Structure 1
Amino acid sequence: MSGPSLRKEDSHSSIHEAALYEAKELKDLFRQCLKDDKREQALQVAEVAVEHWETRTLKHAEAEEEGLYQEMVKENPGLKRLVTQLTRDHDLMRRVVERMKDMLLSGKVDERMAVHMETLILVDEIHNEDEMNKLLNSVQTKMVKYGS
């Protein structure tokens, strides 16, 4: 069962916005380290960025998949296609993070890592828009319609 904050658009949106803000800050810091030719610091920032994506966004995604999404489809089977798309977004983010981890293991801390960070941010932004506008909006509409 998902927590109540996952079903409330404002609360859920705040979770997304905070994680994205932090991801953007880490990406900017990483780029600055590259620009300043501070390879060791860039490596540390990249490690923190990977940890951030794993512990914040992807843990949140896991909670959505295990609770909220299943509940939503059970309540409204018409949302199955959308939930499949949202889950695919999560899978893409997981794959990009895995590539980042591989880059870290091989010591490849360069502009490609920044591109991966940008990709994660873009996919997450689009994902969050769809989740807010298509999935959670359907919950809010249903709640207003039925007086919940």
Structure 2
Amino acid sequence: MSGPSLKKQDAHSSIHEAALNEAIELREILKKCLENKESEKATQVAQIIIEHWESRTLKHAESEEDGLYKELVQEDPNVTKLVNQLTRDHDLMRRIVGEMNELLIKNEMNERMLSLLDALIVIDSIHNEDEMNKLLIRIKQ
């Protein structure tokens, strides 16, 4: 069963917006560290970024998949295709975070890390919009 805030469009949107805004801010910090050739600080920031994505966005995604999405498909099987698309977004984000982790382990703090972050931000933005405007709009508030 999903938490009540997952079914409330405003509350759910706030969760997404806060996590995404934090991710954008962290990306800018990493960019400055790389520009200033502060490799040790860049590594620390990358660790924080990965932890952020894992503990905020991907943990939230897990709760959506385990609760909200299953409930909504049971209530209306017509949303199955959309739920599959949203779950695919989560899978892509997990893969990208995994690749970022590999770069961190190899101590490869470079433009690739920023590119991966940009991809995460774009996927998450589109995902959030689709979830709000195509899925949660169906729920009676």
Query: With structure 2 as the length reference, what TM-score do the two structures score?
Result: 0.99
1:111 aligns with 2:105: no
For 2:99 and 2:19, the matched residues in 1 are separated by 20
For 2:31 and 2:61, the matched residues in 1 are separated by 26
Partner of 2:29: 29
String of CA shifts for 1:60-111, please: whole Å, max 9, x gaps.
0000000000000000000000000000000000000000000011111101
One-letter code of the match for 2:39? R
Partner of 2:7: 7
For 1:108 and 1:101, the matched residues in 2 are separated by 10
The count of corresponding residues between Structure 1 and Structure 2 is 141
1:58 aligns with 2:64: no
For 1:7 and 1:133, the matched residues in 2 are separated by 13
One-letter code of the match for 1:78? N
Question: Percent identity among equivalent residues?
Answer: 57
Q: Give the secondary structure class of the aligned counterpart of 1:37.
A: coil
Deviation at 1:119, TM superposition (A): 0.6
One-letter code of the match for 1:47? Q
For 1:106 and 1:49, the matched residues in 2 are separated by 16
String of CA shifts for 1:104-133, please: whole Å, max 9, x gaps.
111111010011111100000000000000
Deviation at 1:135, TM superposition (A): 0.3
Q: Which runs of 5+ in 2 are unaligned?
A: none
Displaced runs of 4+ in structure 1, greater than 2 A?
Answer: none
Q: Give the secondary structure class of the aligned counterpart of 2:2.
A: coil
Cα RMSD over matched residues? 0.7
For 1:56 and 1:40, the matched residues in 2 are separated by 24
For 1:122 and 1:129, the matched residues in 2 are separated by 11
Bigger Cα Rg? 1
One-letter code of the match for 2:62? E
Please show how residues 1-148 of structure 1 align to structure 2 within 5 Å: 1-139=1-139, 143=140
Deviation at 1:138, TM superposition (A): 1.0
Query: With structure 1 as the length reference, what TM-score do the two structures score?
Result: 0.94
